Structure 1
Amino acid sequence: YFTVSSCPPPLRDDSKGGDNYPDRGGRASWDASLNVDVMGAVRLVEAVLPMMRAARAGSILLVSSVSAIEAAPMPDFGYTAAKAALNAYAKKLSVVEGSHGIRANALLPGSTEFPGGGWAMMREHQPEIYEMVRQSVPSGRLGTPQEIADAAMWLVSPRAGWVNGAALVVDGGQSKAIR
């Protein structure tokens, strides 16, 4: 049983490409988001599809973000568009590769905190933004890596064998929408 998971590095510095606003020269940031988030996944999937087809089995999991379905006030246009593209890519793969026994899904984590991560740094350096985000989650806390990993492990397991083409939101209700 093959599983592919595409996940970009947890931290990257998008600031070098401008502030990402379409009219302010944020093209480098757009290119970085599309190259890392989308094309990284495409290259990985292309590398393993022949083996999955030969085995007539497999699960592709693309790690997206709730940013793909919810607009936040940050100027992360490229990141948001790239994550939405991953959702569409998973959906298309599920249709095209389903007859080969291959499932494809997207996992959309919400704000997740871990030591050394972006939200831990935000808590320390910009506590007002951290608190605003934390309070936007119905449970009053950010997610943990273990919670995201548990959802990912279920999605790629045989127990989720009938789940194909889904975009599973794992955000503690942060996006406040039923999908």
Structure 2
Amino acid sequence: MSENAPADAPATSPEPALAPVDPQDLAVLEEQLGRVPRGVVGIAARCVCGRPLVARTAPRLPDGSPFPTTFYLSHPGAVAAASRLEAVGVMKEMNERLAHDDELAAAYRAAHEHYIAQREALGHVEEIAGISAGGMPTRVKCLHALMAHALAAGPGVNPIGDETLELAKDDWRPDRCTC
């Protein structure tokens, strides 16, 4: 667990405040991603064992590039589960429902606004103003990004991210360590 979160906090609880990124977390992220992580400002969600699930990234990378993906899914098991769901065409059905279900569409737009607000809290980058991730607010484009947002924000914020977590539970779950 982070220094900011109580030891008994749920695995997917968001960090209450940004603390300096622990070098051990950066080492774990590098191991998980297979590359040096870029622009990490915090760990947005952790495995029940304490290792990162989701990195929180700056809206502008150190090289100056704008980076809209505030919540970056890092855990290999979660990444694989999201990839499997994408491979079997889950997004097509989600997009169809999104186009015809006004309540789902409104909740998804609210998730988009939440995502943008979370990024804006880190700083404003004009090139990505109004852009969130995962296809929000009008389509489902990347289950990895939506799962990361759901893990970082907690249940009830991103309906498609929550649904992705539910669909992935036979392959990967945030309440069971597979690190």
Q: Choose between structure 1 and 2: higher helix proportion.
A: 1
- Give 1 or 2 for the bigger CA radius of gyration: 1
TM-score normalized with structure 1 length: 0.29
TM-score (norm 2): 0.29
